[in-house]
Amino acid sequence: MSPLKLPEVLADKNQDLSSLILAISNACIGVANQVKNSALEGNLGVTGIINVQGETQQTLDLKANDLFVKICSANPKLAAIVSEEVEEPLWLKEPEKDDFILYIDPLDGSSNLNVDLSVGSIFSITRVGSSDARCVLRSGKHQLAAGYAIYGSSTMFVVSTGRDVQGYTLCVSSGDFILTHPFMTIPKSTSEFAINTSRARFWKSPIRRYVSECTAGEAGPRGQDFNMRWTASMVADVHRILVRGGVFLYPKDTNNQSTGGKIRLLYEANPMAFIVKAAAGRASTGDEDILSISPKSLHQRTSVILGSADEVNLIESYH
């Protein structure tokens, strides 16, 4: 039997949704080529522009955003695009019943570009609201599909429509995404955690307790050794968890609590929580399920703890 390609797998799903997911996958192929050729084409480095997040945009942040808009806006059922790189939603049409809203982080981890580490793209899809068609502040439970692309040693496209998680690898010779990681599942337990330890002085007591118990190793209260991994690219860290287990933490701390945390809710935390849940993991702020949060603003931030269910449950208990 020949390997399954992304269009073949989506063929029996909602045709409008499938069409949009395929457009997103094509945009990801374009971004992969931009990343691959960035040094050769002089696209490394910053633009000097400060985005709505208060962060200096990389040249490829803008190019990736423009590519997603160009390719995806051709879809007749797409009403709006909400992007990390743009302050307000981009409305493509007057929204109608069953139209879609697309949320994107066009190039996650772009600060890693100059040192040739893995970066990625994240996306989430919802329908327009029934009561207010122009409201894009939808909780994660309204997602129809979510996924990401990772641009590393190979380019992968990982997608879920809520029932399971499927991973596709880009075949360079054919230009097709081929199913290579079917039914990705996160083990309940793990011996790996990912957290930015340079922020340890800001952590609150539940996080300090969890990390100290992990680093105490076999002689500590957990009775086992743990490895710490941190890539500074959420896509790369979550992808590792989907492949071999683990837990990712970017908690609200005393330094970022005024903004609610670090990770953006609509186009980073929600899609990753959706994927992790579909892969038998859990995603929490420490106090509540990420998918249950009712967003109050477009670029709202949140605390994120996600991955192997046993570890997320334990960290929640410490809160």
> For residue 152, what pLDDT band results from cuts at 50, 70 and 90?
very high
Q: What is the pLDDT of residues 297-314, one digit of tens each?
A: 999 999 999 999 999 999
Residue 289 has pLDDT above 80, yes or no: yes
Q: What is the pLDDT of residue 1?
A: 43
Q: With pLDDT > 90 as the criterion, what percentage of the chain qualifies?
A: 82
6-181 CATH, one of 3.30.930.10, 3.40.640.10, 3.30.540.10, 3.50.30.30? 3.30.540.10
What residues does each domain of the chain span? 6-181, 192-318
Domain 192-318 has CATH 2.120.10.30: no
Task: Could you list the residues known to form a binding site for Mg(2+), using ranges.
Answer: 84, 105, 107-108, 268
Closest CA to 20 of 94, 141, 101: 101
pLDDT tens figures, 193-221:
999 999 999 999 999 999 999 999 999 99
pLDDT digits (tens, 9 = 90+) for 170-198: 999 999 999 999 999 999 999 999 999 99
pLDDT, tens digit, 9 for 90 and up, residues 251-265: 999 999 999 999 999
pLDDT at 49: 61
What are the DSSP calls for 64-114, one per residue?
HHHHHHHHHTT-TTEEEEEETT-SS-EE-S---TT-EEEEEEEEETGGGGG
| Region of poorest pLDDT, from 87-96, 127-136, 139-148, 262-271 | 127-136
Residue-level pLDDT at 50: 62
Kindly report, residue by residue over 94-135, the tens digit of the pLDDT: 999 899 999 999 999 888 888 888 999 999 999 998 778 789
Residue 318 one-letter amino acid: Y
Residue ranges with strand state E in the chain: 46-50, 56-58, 78-83, 90-91, 100-108, 119-127, 145-151, 155-160, 165-170, 177-181, 192-194, 227-228, 247-250, 263-264, 282-284, 301-302, 304-307
Q: In whole angstroms, give the CA distance from residue 153 to residue 237.
A: 15
pLDDT given at position 53: 64
Q: Are 295 and 137 in contact (CB under 8 A)?
A: yes
Is the pLDDT assigned to residue 4 strictly greater than 90? no
- The whole-number pLDDT of residue 317 equals 98
pLDDT, mean over the chain: 92
Least confident of 44-58, 194-208, 241-255: 44-58
Cα dihedral sign, 217-269-230-24:
positive
